Amino acid sequence: MEVPLTTRLTTVAAATVLTAGALLLAACTPAPLPGAAGDPDPFGHVHAIAPDGAGVLLGTHTGIYRVDEEGEAAGPVGGYDFDAMGFTVSGGAWFASGHPGPSTPPELGAPNLGLIRSIDAGETWEPVAFTGTEDFHLLTADPAGTLYGIGSTLPSLRISTDGGASWTDGAALAGVAGLAATAEAVYAATEGGLQTSTDGGVTFVPVPDAPLLYTVAAADQTLAGVDTDGTVWRLSAATATWEQVGTAAGRVQAIAATGDGTVLLVDDRGIARLGPAPDETTILRPATASTGEHP
């Protein structure tokens, strides 16, 4: 296994928010990212972001990376170079899905990883389910540890209550670009609007008066998302009302929420932290100003 390298993060997306349909397609399509001269971009695309203390974890085209509170990126963690199309953290475990990289151990699966798990913060990984056959583009977990995913082989939501060892099929959902779960409900951002399930993903119904979100994230009782105009919204279970907490820049590649109401984004600015107060925005790691593209 290669020794992980430390590098600077560059995370500028190449698309503009146009329509909900275009965003749904773009969400699963890797895009080349600009990079500064002498500062090569190892990521290719950022698929997922998760809180990691004062920093964040990024699930990217070339593995999992850590970005600290100073904006410095290190990785890929453990030297694993797989394409983390799906990535989520639940309890003390990391879960990922996607495709192997050039030096990914073959036992993790090919051409698809299925579901893989790490219980030592990414230093080692093991296959759990669907090895070689499934690619979860969307993967999330609720506070109790139930996993929810939508893969490449079926339109149905898949559900696991035992850490990914066994799965059941839930509702069939069309045009899903985002998936999130709170302690009370599962949410899916679809072409037809935000849908929710209060029976563990078996059935879904529209969320009344919800913005047209194309990506969503959740933490504890808080739901966050970005609408097709780039407005970042937060729904609190305590008030049952939507509030605007800021604005995204260009297309959002990844989104996460934290328990204090903060929203984390990867967009054209780089890595942005919004909140917890409305219009409170901090750029954890700015995107480079270069306009060049990697091959």
Domain ranges across the chain: 5-286
Burial of 22 (0-12, 13-18, 19+ CB in 10 A): middle
Rounded to two decimals, what is the model's pTM? 0.83
Burial of 277 (0-12, 13-18, 19+ CB in 10 A): exposed
| pLDDT at residue 291 is higher than 70 | no
Assigned CATH class of 5-286 = mainly beta
pLDDT tens digits, 44-55: 689 999 999 999
Give Cα separations from 249 to 14, 201, 286 (angstroms). 11, 32, 12
- Scanning the structure block, which residue is given the tokens 């119904």? 205
Residue type, 141: A
What percent of the chain lies above the pLDDT cut of 70?
82
More confident residue, 32 or 121: 121
Burial of 79 (0-12, 13-18, 19+ CB in 10 A): middle
Residue type, 46: V
Nearest to 270 by CA among 10, 6, 42, 28: 10
Q: Do the beta carbons of residue 159 and residue 201 sit within 8 Å? A: yes
Least confident of 14-23, 34-43, 77-86, 187-196: 14-23
Q: What is the overall mean pLDDT for the chain?
A: 84
Task: Count the helix, strand and coil residues of the chain and give each as a percent rounded to the nearest 5.
Answer: 5, 45, 50
pLDDT tens digits, 119-131: 999 999 999 999 9
How confident is the model at residue 86, as a pLDDT?
A: 96
Q: Do the beta carbons of residue 211 and residue 231 sit within 8 Å? A: yes
Structure token pair of residue 178: 């985002």
